[in-house]
Amino acid sequence: MIADLDPRTRAVYLVLLVAPLVLLAGLYLYPLSRVLWLSVTVPTPGFGNFERLFTSDAVQRILWTTGKLCVLTTALALLIGYAIAYAAVHLPGWRGELFLFFVLLSFWLSVLVRAFAWLTLLQSRGLVNTALMQLGAIDAPLPLIRNEFGVVLGMVHYMIPYAALPLYANMRGIDPRLVPAARGLGAGPVRAFLRVYLPMSLPGLISAGILTFIFSLGFYVTPALLGGGKTIMIAEYIAVQINDTLNWGLGSMLATTLLLAIFVLLALMAFFVDLRKVFGVK
């Protein structure tokens, strides 16, 4: 206990504790408070900026596009991530670890590099369209980028590890003897999975879904490049309001709304999900 230490050692501990808090307050909390202040003071004091959430067609269209793409991204990332985590847990020996290692490799790639890679693959003269045309499968290039399809594809590719790793941690805590026991009692493979394994992996599925959705809300580079200005999400719209139109009130209001939505989602995850089960702790 700190109270049991001598005064000099106690002072050192207090300095080491207070210094990061002061740095955090200066670099994070103060700018955040400024954003919150601007959202209710520019151009006039009040909640006029927040009223535009319900009255502005442009804002509602951006929110609808953001929500729709985030839901699609989350659903696809969970589906693929669940299969990856299940395979990594059940592959014997070093094969499962190697499988998971290749998933972790994607963390080392910049989101900008990934977006440009998808541009190279999916553009009208990219590898995918060129190969399909040479095979005679299509007569004209398919519109694979500068639309919602390209944005979702790039976002799902980036979010798969964020979905797979929490699921993998959760599945590691599930007793592998339970499904064979259900099979031994007469349940088929599908019923044993749906009635035994899936409910036990549900905490990891919920937490992975919330985390994936939260990260998807703040996407900027991928929609900007693969959307080509035709599919705009809230982060890009905020950047346009702040940097181009200088509409600081609207931009800070949307940033505040996004922040509040993230806090609500985190509270939901903490309320509904046992974090010990999420990380595979028995």
Task: Determine the Cα–Cα distance for residues 196 and 30; give it in Å rounded to an integer.
Answer: 48
Confidence grade of residue 205 (pLDDT, cut at 50, 70, 90): very high
Task: Give, in order, the Cα–Cα distances in Å from 185 to each of 61, 178, 189, 201.
Answer: 52, 11, 11, 21
Q: What is the pLDDT of residue 8?
A: 76
**Residue the block writes with tokens 């990332």:** 77
The pLDDT of 154-178, averaged and rounded, is: 91
For the chain, the domains span: 1-41, 55-278
Residue 68: both structure tokens together: 């729709």
What's the pLDDT tens digit per position in 258-277? 999 988 888 887 776 665 55
Confidence grade of residue 280 (pLDDT, cut at 50, 70, 90): very low
The pLDDT of 23-50, averaged and rounded, is: 90
Q: What is the pLDDT of residue 4?
A: 62
Answer for the pair 269, 210: CB distance below 8 angstroms, yes or no: yes
Task: Determine the Cα–Cα distance for residues 262 and 214; give it in Å rounded to an integer.
Answer: 6
Report the candidate in 234, 83, 72, 224 with the shortest Cα–Cα distance to residue 164: 83
How many helices (H) and strands (E) would you count in the chain?
Answer: 15, 0
Q: What is the mean pLDDT of the chain?
A: 88
What's the pLDDT tens digit per position in 209-251? 998 999 999 999 999 999 988 999 999 999 999 999 989 999 9
Q: What is the pLDDT of residue 103?
A: 83
What's the pLDDT tens digit per position in 109-141? 888 899 999 999 999 999 999 999 999 999 999
What is the CATH code of the structural domain delimited by 55-278? 1.10.3720.10
Task: Determine the Cα–Cα distance for residues 55 and 114; give it in Å rounded to an integer.
Answer: 37
Confidence grade of residue 5 (pLDDT, cut at 50, 70, 90): low
Task: Determine the Cα–Cα distance for residues 252 and 37; give it in Å rounded to an integer.
Answer: 9
Report the candidate in 148, 150, 152, 132 with the shortest Cα–Cα distance to residue 140: 132
Residue 98: both structure tokens together: 């190697």
